[in-house]
């Protein structure tokens, strides 16, 4: 068996995204992703997926060159190779991360987000070569299915007039009734029983009303609210007080570990984060200050599936819960998330996934949710297959773009509808 990488293919694509609202603005009609393929000397191909903005492509290209000759089984070596990739200082100095939701951009964060796709692709290739599913390479599954939550968004019916976009069939959701209707559609289509509302869009009282309406419509179901740090400490405490009886957790109500610690000290409602604990270096302060009770891992920015397992082990040590965060992603990443989630002990919260919002994919067969769960595949590798025609089509869209959609920018997309819009840099409420 020859596990040496002989070829790496990088395919940037643009995938349709509905007009989902968040505190930064609104999703663009098309969002960039990067599809990574590694091919071994035996002709086995492994696939991975990550962010597709230019700053990631700039690192993925030299990384791909270094990977030729590397063994797909040498996963630790990927991080050694990544350290050799030079990050342009203009990409990190004073820059905030994708959507501004992971704090200040650093060279390590950028590199890890790139490595994650290559790690997944190597695991996929290794699994195929050995006839083993990825979860087996990660130590074996502890569950046969992984539960996901319905990821509810405030949403316009359509992208702004004049903007080229794919039509979706979700309709608008800009008030409590719209959010409840969206939640019902999620349950009918996918069987989800746990709900997360993306907040930070409307004044907190309106979002409190939406969560109350969900609690009435779905009594006893786990509910979360995530304003991406849009609130002050006092507003966070007010929301926690008003929704304390129905929330499973409050996600990133406010920005930064010190402010999160202050909220956590004054409420019984657990706090979750995918914003103040996004790197191993940030764990110590957050955990020793009891700032968060649940960390939402994202294998893209934590540097892959094995780092996710390491994060889970640290969380377990400190009695902190772990679950999964999601940004816009396709089926390769959903498969990867499902494999790693299957191996994590003490996974007590349904994972997040944007996947139902993505009407397009690069797979021959979409992954499905049954009863809100994705079955853990036992097929070799990730258990997914690339649809080359779809990949070509979505890549063509990327090639044809004049550059305006190649960087995800929710604030710029919002300015088309609201010309004066600027993303708030301090808590809005
Ligand atoms: O896609 O609008 C979005 C989300 O707000 C995403 O950017 C966040 O990273 O879903 C994420 C979260 O939980 O914070
Ligand atoms: Mg979040």
Cβ(124)–Cβ(132) below 8 Å: no
Distance (Å, rounded) from C-alpha 335 to C-alpha 344?
Answer: 15
Distance (Å, rounded) from C-alpha 300 to C-alpha 352?
Answer: 14
- 264 Cβ contact list (under 8 Å, min separation 6): 271, 290, 291, 292, 293
Query: Which residue's CA is minimally distant from atom 8 of ligand 1?
Result: 327
Distance 275 CA to ligand 2 centre (A): 7
Q: Probe ligand 1: pick from 20, 21, 99, 251, max atoms within 8 Å of CB?
A: 99
Distance 250 CA to ligand 2 centre (A): 9
Distance 69 CA to ligand 1 centre (A): 37
Cβ(354)–Cβ(151) below 8 Å: yes
Pocket lining: 273 vs ligand 1, CB cutoff 6 Å: no
The confidence score (pLDDT) of residue 425 equals 84
The confidence score (pLDDT) of residue 170 equals 98
325, 329, 349, 373: which one is catalytic? 325
| Phi, psi for 100 (deg, rounded to 5) | 65, 20
Distance (Å, rounded) from C-alpha 220 to C-alpha 216?
Answer: 9
> Mean pLDDT for each consecutive 10-residue tract of the chain (429 residues)?
98 98 97 98 98 96 98 98 87 68 81 97 98 98 98 98 97 98 98 98 98 98 98 98 98 97 98 96 98 98 97 98 97 98 97 98 98 98 98 98 95 97 90
Tell me which ligand sits closest to the C-alpha of residue 352: 1
Show the tokens assigned to 213.
């309406």
Pocket lining: 341 vs ligand 1, CB cutoff 6 Å: no
Distance 67 CA to ligand 1 centre (A): 31
Pocket lining: 20 vs ligand 1, CB cutoff 6 Å: yes
* Interface ipTM: 0.94
Distance (Å, rounded) from C-alpha 49 to C-alpha 59?
Answer: 14
The confidence score (pLDDT) of residue 408 equals 96
The confidence score (pLDDT) of residue 424 equals 85
The confidence score (pLDDT) of residue 388 equals 98
Q: Of 148, 109, 121, which is closest to residue 11 (Cα–Cα)?
A: 121
Catalytic annotation on 159? Answer: no
Distance 229 CA to ligand 2 centre (A): 9
Q: Strand locations in 53-178, DSSP E?
A: 145-147, 150-153
> Closest ligand 1 atom to the C-alpha of 296?
13
| Beta strand 247-251 pairing with 223-226 | parallel
Distance (Å, rounded) from C-alpha 1 to C-alpha 138?
Answer: 20
Distance 226 CA to ligand 1 centre (A): 9
For the beta sheet containing 223-226, the strands, ordered from the edge strand earlier in sequence to the opposite edge, are 150-153, 195-198, 223-226, 247-251, 271-273, 294-297, 321-324
Cβ(186)–Cβ(356) below 8 Å: yes
Pocket lining: 73 vs ligand 1, CB cutoff 6 Å: no
Query: Which residue's CA is minimally distant from atom 13 of ligand 1?
Result: 325
The confidence score (pLDDT) of residue 104 equals 74
Q: Probe ligand 1: pick from 198, 349, 413, 414, max atoms within 8 Å of CB?
A: 198
Pocket lining: 102 vs ligand 1, CB cutoff 6 Å: no
Distance (Å, rounded) from C-alpha 121 to C-alpha 336?
Answer: 10
Show the tokens assigned to 408.
């995800």
| Phi, psi for 99 (deg, rounded to 5) | 65, 5
Query: Which residue's CA is minimally distant from atom 7 of ligand 1?
Result: 327
Pocket lining: 274 vs ligand 1, CB cutoff 6 Å: yes
For 140, 143, 292, 335, the CA distances from 373, given in Å and listed in that order, are: 18, 11, 26, 12
User: Alpha helices of 104-155 — where are they, by DSSP H?
Assistant: 107-130, 134-137
Catalytic annotation on 395? Answer: no
Cβ(335)–Cβ(366) below 8 Å: no
Distance (Å, rounded) from C-alpha 45 to C-alpha 369?
Answer: 26
Query: Which residue's CA is minimally distant from atom 2 of ligand 1?
Result: 22
The confidence score (pLDDT) of residue 100 equals 59
Show the tokens assigned to 13.
């694509």
Query: Which residue's CA is minimally distant from atom 1 of ligand 1?
Result: 327
Question: Full-prediction pTM beyond 0.95?
Answer: yes
Cβ(198)–Cβ(328) below 8 Å: no
């Amino acid at each position: 068996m020859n596990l040496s990488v002989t070829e790496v293919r990088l395919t940037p694509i643009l995938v349709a995204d509905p007009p989902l609202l968040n505190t930064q603005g609104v999703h663009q009609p098309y969002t960039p992703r990067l599809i990574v393929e590694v091919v071994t000397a035996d002709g086995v191909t492994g696939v991975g997926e990550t962010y597709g903005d230019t700053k990631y492509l700039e690192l993925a290209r030299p990384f791909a060159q270094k990977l030729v000759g590397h063994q797909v089984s040498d996963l630790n070596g990927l991080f050694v190779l990544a350290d050799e990739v030079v990050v342009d200082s203009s990409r990190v100095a004073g820059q905030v991360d994708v959507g501004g939701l992971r704090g200040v951009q650093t060279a390590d964060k950028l590199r890890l987000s790139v490595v994650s796709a290559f790690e997944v692709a190597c695991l996929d290739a290794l699994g195929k070569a050995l006839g083993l599913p990825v979860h087996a390479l990660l130590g074996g599954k502890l569950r046969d299915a992984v539960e996901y939550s319905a990821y509810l968004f405030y949403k316009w019916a359509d992208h702004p007039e004049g903007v080229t976009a794919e039509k979706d069939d979700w309709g608008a959701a800009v008030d409590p009734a719209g959010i409840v209707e969206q939640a019902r559609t999620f349950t009918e289509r996918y069987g989800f029983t746990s709900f997360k509302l993306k907040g930070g869009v409307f004044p907190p009282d309106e979002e409190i009303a939406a969560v109350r309406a969900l609690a009435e419509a779905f009594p006893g179901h786990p509910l979360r609210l995530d304003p991406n740090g849009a609130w002050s400490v006092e507003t966070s405490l007010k929301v926690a007080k008003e929704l304390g009886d129905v929330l499973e957790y409050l996600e990133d109500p406010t920005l930064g570990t010190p402010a999160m610690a202050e909220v956590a000290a004054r409420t019984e409602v657990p706090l979750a984060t995918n914003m103040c604990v996004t790197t191993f270096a940030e764990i110590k302060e957050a955990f020793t200050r009891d700032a968060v009770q649940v960390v939402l891992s994202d294998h893209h920015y934590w540097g892959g599936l094995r780092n996710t397992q390491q994060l889970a082990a640290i969380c377990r040590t400190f009695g902190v819960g772990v679950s999964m965060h999601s940004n816009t992603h396709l089926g390769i990443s959903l498969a990867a998330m499902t494999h790693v989630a299957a191996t994590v002990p003490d996974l007590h919260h349904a994972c997040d996934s944007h996947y139902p919002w993505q009407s397009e994919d690069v797979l021959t067969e979409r992954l499905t949710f049954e009863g809100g769960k994705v079955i853990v595949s036992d097929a070799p590798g990730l258990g997914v297959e690339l649809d080359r025609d779809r990949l070509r089509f979505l890549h063509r869209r990327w090639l044809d773009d004049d550059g305006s959609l190649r960087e995800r920018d929710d604030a710029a997309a919002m300015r088309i509808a609201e010309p004066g819009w600027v993303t708030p840099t301090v808590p809005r409420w």
